[in-house]
Amino acid sequence: MSIGKIIFMIFSIVFTILILLFGARYDLIGWINATFSSGIILFGVGILIYVSGEGIFDIAIFGTKKFFKSIFSRNNNMGSYYEYHVERSEREKIPVGIILFTGLIYMGISFLLLYIFYH
């Protein structure tokens, strides 16, 4: 297991504990809320990172950068969208499998706890 995965797992556990503390409810319902909230947030962030890596937001990012550079910078030499897209597609993509998997695991745990609560 790589160091990045270990750091991410520690981050996700700390994130769940922070949600539990913020909710100020420490019974089974509090744990259900904390695990589901952190699971859905992690899964959503994973989906956003995946679609961003696939280039869904490239045109919006390029347009925003070009707009602000034209207003605030004297050097407005960004090139064309095609050059920007090729440059971004050559970058290494962020592996999102661990983020999506962890989000699904957390949501699964919350559904299991919810089942235990109602039975």
Place 110 in a pLDDT band, splitting at 50, 70 and 90.
very high
pTM for the model:
0.77
pLDDT at position 1 is 64
Place 36 in a pLDDT band, splitting at 50, 70 and 90.
very high
What's the pLDDT tens digit per position in 78-107?
Answer: 777 778 777 777 777 778 888 898 899 999
Place 113 in a pLDDT band, splitting at 50, 70 and 90.
very high
Place 8 in a pLDDT band, splitting at 50, 70 and 90.
confident
Average pLDDT, the chain: 84
Looking at the structure of the chain, the number of domains it has is 1
Q: Which domain holds residue 105?
A: 3-118
Interatomic CA distance for residues 5 and 75, integer angstroms: 40
Interatomic CA distance for residues 67 and 72, integer angstroms: 9
Longest dimension (CA), the chain: 66
What phi, psi does 13 have (nearest 5°)?
-70, -45
* Mean pLDDT value of segment 43-48: 91
Q: 78, 66 in Cβ contact below 8 A? A: yes
